[in-house]
Amino acid sequence: MIPSRDWSQYLVSDQVLAQSYALVGDFKRSWMKKYIAYLFSYYGHDPRTQCVSTARERAGFIHDTLSSPIPGVIIIAHSYPKIWNRLLASVIPAISAGVEHIYVFLIKNHEEPCPEILTSLELAGVENIFLIDGPETLVSNILKSAMDAALMDLCAKSLMQDILFKSPGKAQKYIRLFFARRPRALIWTENNRAWDYDILKWAHPDMEFTVGGPLAHNAPSGFTTTDAAIQQLLSEQYDLFLGPEDIFRSSMVARGFSPGMEPFWLWPELDRSFFQINRVYWKEIE
């Protein structure tokens, strides 16, 4: 994995983490803690370093399956915008799968590091948070150290994609979790349980919101409202649905949440198996 002595100069200091913690405040930190707890409950926790299962086949052979967590995960994301919830949704399943070393590299831009990103990672127990400039040579050096790691890329414009296969390093697995366009959310309002629009804007700062339903007129500025029927709305593409479960089930949206889960996020394509190395051995029955 990554030699700590080579990267210590980029490590986010305890002072910066403490400043971010104070800037986020008690109320927003409580939302983060609730979200983290839900994610850990959803993914569970498997402390095993290896699992071996044996199956005897009627065809005349036995196969052993050996599964173990990947030793480390390298996550690259931008330090802005405030996509702390999407970053957590990639970190927590790795922790739950028993990955020992998790390294988060935040690519700097013109803004200061997002306090929500730093605070949420710290609350989740991630200690190796690095702030880097992101030139190709630096990213290449990260990849050289990724021989036994999984690589996760959350950058809208990938810094790794063009050089991944040119690097002498070879990652165990690689996945991109991003949107090629501005993500879209559909909010459906039909009863008196109101949505917390302020929290929605805070947790999904780059999201394009469309609000429909009988109470759509209650949405504040910054949210597009519509009187279109739900069938018409569901014919369009959305990345997030906020509304009743029966409507969600009739849609093709990948993730949906009810009121009370406004800042939540999930990557349905990620599960603990992504963070495991599986090896299979076959032998004939003598």
Q: Which amino acid is at 57?
A: E
Q: How far apart are CA 177 and CA 117, in angstroms?
A: 16
Q: 3-class SS at 9? A: helix
Q: How far apart are CA 186 and CA 101, in angstroms?
A: 37
Cis peptide before 205 (omega within 30 of 0): no
Residue pLDDT, tens place only, 163-222? 555 554 556 788 888 887 899 999 999 877 789 999 999 999 999 999 999 999 999 999
Q: How far apart are CA 260 and CA 265, in angstroms?
A: 13
User: Whose CA is closest to 194, among 210, 212, 209, 215?
Assistant: 215
In the numeric block, the tokens 């780059």 are attached to: 206
Cβ contacts of 140-147, under 8 Å, gap ≥ 24: 140/166, 140/167, 141/6, 142/2, 142/74, 142/76, 142/105, 143/167, 143/169, 143/171, 144/168, 144/169, 145/1, 145/2, 145/3, 145/74, 145/169, 146/1, 146/74, 146/170, 146/171, 147/171
pLDDT value, residue 31 = 97
In the numeric block, the tokens 């910054």 are attached to: 222
Q: How far apart are CA 226 and CA 236, in angstroms?
A: 13
pLDDT value, residue 73 = 92
Q: Which amino acid is at 226?
A: T
pLDDT value, residue 138 = 62
Q: How far apart are CA 29 and CA 263, in angstroms?
A: 12
Q: How far apart are CA 89 and CA 36, in angstroms?
A: 9
Beta bridge partners of 145: none
Residue pLDDT, tens place only, 37-49? 999 999 998 777 7
- pTM surpassing 0.85? yes
Flag residues of the chain having pLDDT under 70. 1-6, 110, 134-147, 157-171
Domains of the chain: 4-177+270-282 (3.40.50.1980), 184-257 (3.40.50)
